[in-house]
Each structure stands twice: as C-alpha cells, then as structure tokens.
Structure 1
Amino acid sequence: MSTPPTVAVIGTCDTKLEVLLFLKRAVQSTAVCDAILIDIGSYDPSDLRDIDIPRSDVLREHATTVHDTPSRREALETITIALTQLLARLHSTQSIAGVIGAGGSGNTSVCTKAFRDALPVGFPKLMVSTMASGNVSHYVGETDITMMYSVVDVAGINPILEVILGNAAGAISGMAKRSLNRADLKSSRPTIAVSMFGLTTPCVQVATQKLEELGYSVIAFHATGAGGLAMERLIREGYFVGVLDITTTELADELVGGVLTAGPHRLEAAAKCGIPQVVSVGALDMVNFGPADTIPKQFQGRLFHHHNSAVTLMRTSREECSKLGQIMVEKLKGAPTNKTRVILPLRGLSGIGKDNGPFCDAEADGALLDALRSGLQCPVEELDVDINDPSFALMLAKALHELLQANGQ
C-alpha cells in the first residue's frame, strides 16, 4: 500500500495542546492521511511525547530562540519566520500534503503569514480560528487559505469544538488526498493572465476568445484588489508566458484611497520577471467605494456613479489621471522594451467613460494619455475607439501574440 499523505497540524502547544492533539488524531482517524504536530508556542509544554516537531526545532530553522526577543510582537515575528522556513522545506521535500492551524488571533496571524509566504496557490491550507467570522482579508491575502470559524474559543475540548475540529480534519484530509492526484496548476497550453472588471468585460471577452483561437489558455483576474495581488503573485511564480493587463484600475484605488487597491506593487511583476506584457488603461477613470454612506467626507462634491447597492464609483480627476500616468511610466521603466507594449483607447477607458457616458471626461482622460505618451520608453499604440470596442480588444490580443512569437513563445 502507498504511504498516506501527511498533514501538518500547527499551533501553540503550551496553551492549546489538548485541542491540537484532538485535531491531529481526528486527521489520523479519517484513515486518509497521517498527521504531524508542529509546536509554535512560547514555551515548551510539560509533555512533549506527541509533538512531532517541537518549538526548539522550529526555531532552529531561524537559528534563534524566542527567549532572545524582548517583546511579544518580536517573538511572534521570530516564530513566523521560522515556521515559514520550516514549511517551505517540508513542502520542497514533499514531506507534507496539507497544513491546518487552530487557535486565536496570535496563532492565526503566525500560521496564515507562513502559509502565504511558504506555500504555493493550490497547496491545501486551512485555518480554524476565532477570528474567521470577521474581515479575514489580511489573513488570506492573495492566496487560497480556507478559513473556518471555530464558533467557540479554541481552549479545551467541548462537544461544539469537537464537531468543528472533526469537520476541519475531514476537510483538510480530503484536500490533501486529492492534491496528490490533481493536475498541476499550469495548463498544457501556454497560459496568459488577463485583468478584467465589470466595466471592461466586453473587451476582455473578445480578447480572450481571440487568444484562445491562437492556441493560448487565458486566466482572468478580477481587479478587486485581491485579484490584482493574486495575478502579480502567480506571475512571479512563473505560471504565465505573458500578461494582457487590460484593467489597471487598482492603481487608482491605491493612489486616491479606494477600497479595491492591490497595494503599491501592482503592475510590477511582469516587468521584473521580463515576460511579454501588453498594458492598457482600463477603468482608470474610476475609484471604488462601498455603499454611498461609506464614502469618506473629503470626497464630497465629486462625481459619483452608483454601480449597485454595494459599489459606488468616483470619477478620477484630471490631476489624479495625470499622476496615474506618471505612476505607470515609473512602473514600466524597468520592463524590457522589446517585451512591453502600451495600447491606449482614445474614446473612453470603461463602459461608463465612453462618449455620452456618465464618466465621459476628455480632459481627464487626456491628462492620463499625455503623461503616458511623454514618459513611456516602450512602444505606445493608440486606437480612436473606446476600450470595449471589439477592434480595440483584437488589437490587444494581436499585439500580445506578436510579442510572444517574437520572444520564442
């Protein structure tokens, strides 16, 4: 019989040993996976017999000890680095097929940070947490961590927690077992990343269809902040031969203070990795906010469009558009000019920015386009249509195909 896959159960054994041992045995009782227990606590518990990797061995990965650090914050940072290095090693040697953590806010912070940094997208990761019923975006980030709310405190076994942990054990065991048999995330065809938004969807659909006809596999990322982060991460991890970055709207949220920012490093991965990319200015005519009553007071008097009950869009100003152009120029400076092309629509950046649309503003759009024309070192092309015109989408697809062919793809 083949060896069953191993799940790493991770937590603070000085305070949660009973819970973690229950979880370890619950995984083993599935008869699908084996389990090892990793201790990331602050102190060694009195009984170490059932701990497979004690905290001293975890810390050895970082060549330090928690006792060397003067504060809780620094202690958590130390154990997080050590756990990250340990999990990366265990993954690289195929010693584990899944990870599961259980605990409160401190343990959740340590585990999820290590899961994000050490383990690739697609590797099974589950976190049972007292924090999982709130906003978990800072725990999950751009990865595929599964968060499960513990309902009760993770402090001693009781009938409710037994059910929750049993479900979690079954879930991670099933994921780990399946991960051994699944295909790699990469397609057999050359794969392209494309960024999209509701208001650039027609463009993305036509470009995607054309690229698929040309023999590519196309993966779309919704430009919601997390989508842009995920796309940039997978570009860095080498999943794509090229990028069609149609919808760069997350840059506007980062600049102005919208809710869908992808952080300060959006539009940088392809340039740093030196892979072919075609970039446009999709939905840079807007900043995203939630319901109207959540918009910060400093934006009173601006032009808004109520996209739906949960999303309010604000038109970017001439000054903001000029600054966005300068930001794009700076981000694309390091990109190989023979692998980069910027293509601009002259009659609207989104579905509501075209002629007679509520966000039609030729002056603001012109400030963005002028900043790009004057600053970019890579080739720039223009088409006298709005971004969702089929001819513009086909131009984007053709340009990326030409870049890929010229660079041996």
Structure 2
Amino acid sequence: MAVVLIGTLDTKGEELEFAREIIEAHDIDVHLIDVGVMDDPDIEPETSAHDVAEAGGTSLERLREGADRGDAIETMGDGAAAIASRLHDEGVLEGIVGLGGSGNTSIATTAMRALPVGVPKLMVSTMASGDTEPYVGAKDVMMLYSVADIEGLNQLSRRVISNATLAMVGMVANEPDITVSEKPTVAITMFGVTTPCVHAAREYLESKGYETIVFHATGTGGRAMEQLVRQGVVDGVLDVTTTEWADELVGGVLSAGETRLDAAAEMGIPQVVSPGALDMVNFGPRDSVPETFEGRTFHIHNPQVTLMRTTPEENAELGEIIAKKLNASTGPTALILPLGGVSLIDVEGEDFHDPEADSKLFDALREHLDENVELVEVDAAINDEEFATAIAEKLDEYLRATDGGR
C-alpha cells in the first residue's frame, strides 16, 4: 500500500521530493506520478509522464509537439485518472496527494474524482481559495490553499506542504474504525424546506431496519447520490426533493445537470419520488439574481440564498421532464404528490403559495406518466406527517418485495 503523489516533475520536482521524503519518513511508501509535459524530470517517478499520456490515449511526444496547454491538461488528467483507478483496484493506492497551480490542480483532482468516496484525497493548490466546485465535484476531495505559489521551498511552502503530507500520513496510518452496516441502505434527498418530511420519513425507515444517507439537494448533493447509486452503495431511493431540476430548467445555481433522476431508473432499484421544492429556483444574494428575472416572486432564505418562485409554465415543463425521467425506470417506481404544497413556503399564508402553479405541475405529471410508474396522491402538504409516512411506507413496501429489503 502506498500514498500516490501526483505532480509536474518538470516544474515542481523540488517540492514533490520534499513531500515524498516526509511521507516516507513515516514508513509509508510513495508512488510518484509525473504529469509534467514540457521537460524530462530529474527525479525518477514510479509512473512516468509517458505512461500517463499513453493512458490518456496519446503520446507525450504528440503533446509536446502540439504545444496546446488545454489539450495537454485534459489528456494528462484522463491518463492520471485511469492510472489512479488501476492502482486503487490493484490495492496499491491508499491515499492521494497533489501539489500545484491551476494546471496540476485540474489534472490531479481529475484523478481524485475517479476514486471512490472514502479514499483520502488532498490537493494543495493555489486555486483552493475560490470556486472549487470544478475540482471537487461530487467527491470527498480536500483542498488546502497554498497561500504562496508553489515555486521553490521556503519557510511558508515547507510548512504548508508538511501540514498536507502529515495530514495524509495520519489518514492512511490510522484506519478509521467504521463498521460497515449490513442493513439495506436508503438514499434520501433533502432541502431546508423539506426537512420536516425527511426527518419523519428517515425515522420511520430506520425503525424498520434501514440505514439512511441524506443528501442536500444543492446540485453536488444530487450528483453525489446518483454516483453512489451507480456504484451499488444504495438499495433504494427516497427522492423527496427534486428541486435541482428547477435550477437546471430555469437557470439557478444549484443544478445537478440533465442526468438527475437517471441513476435509480437505469440501475433498477426501488425509488419513491416526490416533487419536493419544485416551487423554487435558487440564487445567491439578492443582488446576484440576473436582471431578466426582475418582477418575479422572491423569498430571502438567508443573506446568501435567494429563492425565486417557479411559474405555472415552468411547473408544467418540470412535470413533463420528471414524468419522462421516471418512465424510463426499470425497477419499482412510485411518484407521490403532496396536493397541499411542495415545500414549507408553498402552503397557504406563505410566500410561494400558488395553487395555479402547483396544479400545472401535478397535471403535467399525471398527463405524461406511464402506467409502469405508480401514481399516489396524498391530500396533505409535503411536510405533513401523513405525507412523510406515505412515502416511507411505499419505499419499504418496494424494498421488502425485492432483494433490496434483504
């Protein structure tokens, strides 16, 4: 077993060698992957840049001749991801550390995102103080801001690199005492405005012997859940909060992409879905909302989050999209409608209460849903105990009728 250390040896050789020495001083092997394109290194890596380029589908010579930085970074990222995955499958890779600026941060985190959740991943980067979503994605990638550029060793870079490598030493040298549950596992999606529903449903399912994992439906949360479904970690899905599709359609900041709702359908695992929080599109602070949306109905959730009410027309389109996604399901699937409102603020007396918009959503779902999807309507709001119990009971019923219930 080894820590994989990934970087551009043609520009960061001194810094990577310093990191390797710290790790090896704690009796942990290091597998050094060179992803530098421009020059040959002075330090011998375990995996050369030539090997990485070949794993990315080309040759290092072609990348050098092409002199296209963007192409080189993408290719080396693909190659590093393939090699890191292979090393993990072979039982070599126990943790992974990267050091670098924007280029190697892109390459190294591409490799990190290819690894399963739970494998220690740490990126020391000049890009860590800013928008890290492109690097972290929906995986457990840790990023440490280097403060100064990673260019030579000095009192600051030595401390930052030492902290990072010692953190990795601690993670790989101290195996966490985590008991893997043998209970069937249910994934649940949640938002602040669907929390009471999820809390009640989770308690019900856990009382029936299930382990639950709750995902915050913030775009990355939905993508993380879908990835774990595809990895076989999850036995069933209680998709209470499908709000990410509103952001995908209208242009909010919490979209999970157009493949949201695909994983459970394709994997054939039981799923129970509701239109939770489809009454809203998410933005940052109020002054960050695009001018094209002026005149719409807004709710200030907190100083950093502004919610915008979806229109009847948008709700009709959302209903059609979600129905078609569920129609593709190969396993037991139910859509359960909360006729009294789809969020905490979509009930009588609250800012987003709009019966017309809800009706357009529900009518579109009814119209476009195929017979293979069970449709259940509950005369309650989404956060009422009656609705929470109904969705939890339905998923329990499906799981007990399949291997998912064990």
Task: Say if 2:203 is the partner of 1:206.
Answer: no
Number of the residue aligned with 1:99: 96
Structure 1 unaligned segments of length 5 or more: list them. none
Taking the TM superposition and a 5 Å limit, the aligned residue runs for 1:105-254 are 105-117=102-114, 119-179=115-175, 182-183=177-178, 186-254=180-248
Instruction: Please tell me the residue identity of whatever aligns with 2:396.
Output: H
Which of 69-78 and 12-21 deviates more?
69-78
**Distance in 2 between the 1:182 and 1:345 partners?**
41
**Distance in 1 between the 2:131 and 2:259 partners?**
23
Task: Say if 2:310 is the partner of 1:316.
Answer: yes
Structure 2 unaligned segments of length 5 or more: list them. none
Q: Secondary structure at the match of 1:97?
A: strand
- In the superposition, relative to structure 1, how do residues 32 and 225 fare at CA in structure 2: closer, same or farther (>3 Å)? farther
**Distance in 2 between the 1:167 and 1:380 partners?**
54
Instruction: Please tell me the residue identity of whatever aligns with 1:213.
Output: S
Task: Say if 2:356 is the partner of 1:363.
Answer: yes
2:240/2:276 contact within 8 Å kept: yes
Which of 242-251 and 287-296 deviates more?
287-296
Task: Say if 2:77 is the partner of 1:83.
Answer: no
Instruction: Please tell me the residue identity of whatever aligns with 1:26.
Output: I
Correspondence for 2:396 among 373, 393, 401: 401
**Distance in 2 between the 1:382 and 1:54 partners?**
59
**Distance in 2 between the 1:21 and 1:245 partners?**
47
Task: Say if 2:337 is the partner of 1:344.
Answer: yes
- In the superposition, relative to structure 1, how do residues 260 and 270 fare at CA in structure 2: closer, same or farther (>3 Å)? same
How much does 1:63 deviate? Answer: 5.1
**Distance in 2 between the 1:265 and 1:62 partners?**
25
**Distance in 2 between the 1:281 and 1:57 partners?**
48
1:346/1:386 contact within 8 Å kept: yes
**Distance in 2 between the 1:331 and 1:137 partners?**
26
2:9/2:41 contact within 8 Å kept: no
Q: Structure 1, residues 3-47: CA drift from partner, whole Å, max 9, x if none?
A: xx4111110001110011011111112x15221211000034352
1:32/1:173 contact within 8 Å kept: no
Instruction: Please tell me the residue identity of whatever aligns with 1:33.
Output: I
How much does 1:188 deviate? Answer: 1.8
Q: Secondary structure at the match of 2:181?
A: coil
How much does 1:182 deviate? Answer: 4.3
Number of the residue aligned with 2:368: 375
Correspondence for 2:38 among 43, 57, 75: 43
Instruction: Please tell me the residue identity of whatever aligns with 1:165.
Output: I
Q: Structure 1, residues 48-87: CA drift from partner, whole Å, max 9, x if none?
A: 44x2222123234345213224222222222111111111
Q: TM-score, normalised by structure 1?
A: 0.95
Q: List 4+ stretches of structure 1 deviating above 6 A.
A: none
Q: Structure 1, residues 220-253: CA drift from partner, whole Å, max 9, x if none?
A: 0011111111111111111110000000011101
Q: TM-score, normalised by structure 2?
A: 0.95
Task: Say if 2:386 is the partner of 1:391.
Answer: yes
Instruction: Please tell me the residue identity of whatever aligns with 2:40.
Output: P
Taking the TM superposition and a 5 Å limit, the aligned residue runs for 1:22-41 are 22-29=18-25, 31-41=26-36
